[in-house]
Amino acid sequence: MTDHVLIERRGPVQSIRMNRPDKKNAITRDMYAAMAKALTDGDADGDIRAHVILGVPGAFSSGNDLQDFMAVAMGGEGGREVYDFLLALANAQKPLVSAADGIAVGIGTTIHLHCDLTFATPRTEFRTPFVDLGLVPEAGSSLLAPAVLGRQQAFALLGLGEGFSAERARAAGLIYAVVEEDDLEDAAFAAAEAIAAKPPEALKIARDLMREPRDQVTARIKEEGAHFRARLKSDEARNAFTAFMNRKKSG
Ligand code: COA
């Protein structure tokens, strides 16, 4: 197992922290596997009432590891880790709270569409450059973002790849609240503890009623995944990954 994901318990709250600061929390296959396991283990544990998903100061996540994408683009096997993580996320049985500071790219943005409460600092920018990378939206975002943000803001996010400041993300409904950096984790844990103090059966029914039909989200994750895997091997994607790898050499 990787040490790039730290799992801790604070009473009834499980925290899942991406911890790969030197790569701005780019997510590797091992990290997806560790996070999927944490979610399913936490869901199965009667003492856990909520999950909190965290990054490090300045970087929630820079998205999928582009080296891993490049490996697939060059003919390698992709593996199931991302898919298993997305299913665990979309089907999580316990409420999900997330806290983002700084960079939130790709799945570092779309993950929050599955969360019940997301806190972000003023310097956070949410961005999904899927199309610019020759790719397509993932994590069910092509279904969830139009439902959450409305079609036009969703197009700006997923189609144009516009950056959303924390304030814009809050106004658009992508996140719950903007809080200062020093208060971020306290706010997220306080929210998770408030959730944990609610009657769990009633809260579970209420939450289940409020979520998009899970089978539709799962079907969309699958449909997006088929396009995504094909796009990873496209010239558009290969060229974009190569440009990222070479950017420091040429700059
Ligand atoms: N995959 C792999 N490595 C990544 C990465 C990613 N998604 N994002 C950042 N890194 C690495 C960089 O290559 C760099 O490694 P190095 O120090 O060995 O050269 C390190 O993390 C720091 O990144 P750097 O680009 O120097 O930081 P920055 O603050 O200038 O920029 C980003 C941060 C996130 C804006 C920029 O790294 C970026 O655009 N990353 C790609 C994001 C992306 O397209 N993700 C996929 C979405 S589907």
Q: State the distance from the centre of ligand 1 to the C-alpha of 202, rounded, in angstroms.
A: 42
Cα dist. 116→21, 32, 63, 68, 203 in Å? 25, 20, 20, 29, 12
Mean of the per-residue pLDDT values of the chain:
96
3-state DSSP assignment of residue 43: helix
205 Cα–ligand 1 center, Å: 40
Helices (H), 74-165: 81-90, 107-110, 141-149, 151-154
The tokens of 23 are what? 């790569």
Dist. CA 244 → ligand 1 center (Å) = 8
pLDDT of 249: 73
pLDDT tens digits for 137-161? 999 999 999 999 999 999 999 999 9
Read off the pLDDT of residues 147-203 as tens digits, 9 standing for 90 and up.
999 999 999 999 999 999 999 999 999 999 999 999 999 999 999 999 999 999 999
What Å distances lie between residue 47 and 12, 40, 200, 206, CA to CA?
6, 13, 11, 19
Residue 61 near residue 85, CB atoms below 8 Å = no
* Domain boundaries along the sequence of the chain: 5-182
3-state secondary structure (DSSP) of residue 53: strand
Q: Residue 23 Cα, ligand 1 centroid: separation in angstroms?
A: 6
Query: Are the CB atoms for 218 and 206 separated by under 8 Å?
Result: no
Q: Write the pLDDT tens digit of every residue in 5-48.
A: 999 999 999 999 999 999 999 999 999 999 999 999 999 999 99
Collect all residues with Cβ–Cβ distance below 8 Å to 152 and sequence separation of at least 6.
none
> By alpha-carbon position, which residue is closest to atom 8 of ligand 1?
62
Q: How far is CA 197 from CA 177, 184, 191, 200, in A?
A: 20, 20, 10, 8
Burial bucket for residue 208 (CB in 10 Å: 0-12, 13-18, 19+): exposed
Residue pointed to by tokens 């409305």: 150
Nearest CA-CA partner of 241 in 130, 82, 102, 126: 130
CA distances from 149 to 169, 172, 186, 240 (A): 9, 5, 27, 28
Task: Pick from 4, 32, 62 the residue to mutate for probing ligand 1's pocket: most ligand atoms within 8 Å of its CB.
Answer: 62
Protein residue with least CA distance to atom 28, ligand 1: 24
How close are the terminal C-alpha atoms of the chain, in Å? 36
Q: Whose CA is nearest to atom 47 of ligand 1?
A: 106
pTM of the model: 0.97
Around ligand 1, the residues with Cβ closer than 6 Å are 23-24, 26, 62-67, 103, 105-106, 129-130, 133, 244, 248
What does the pLDDT read at residue 250?
59
CATH topology of domain 5-182: 2-enoyl-CoA Hydratase; Chain A, domain 1 (3.90.226)
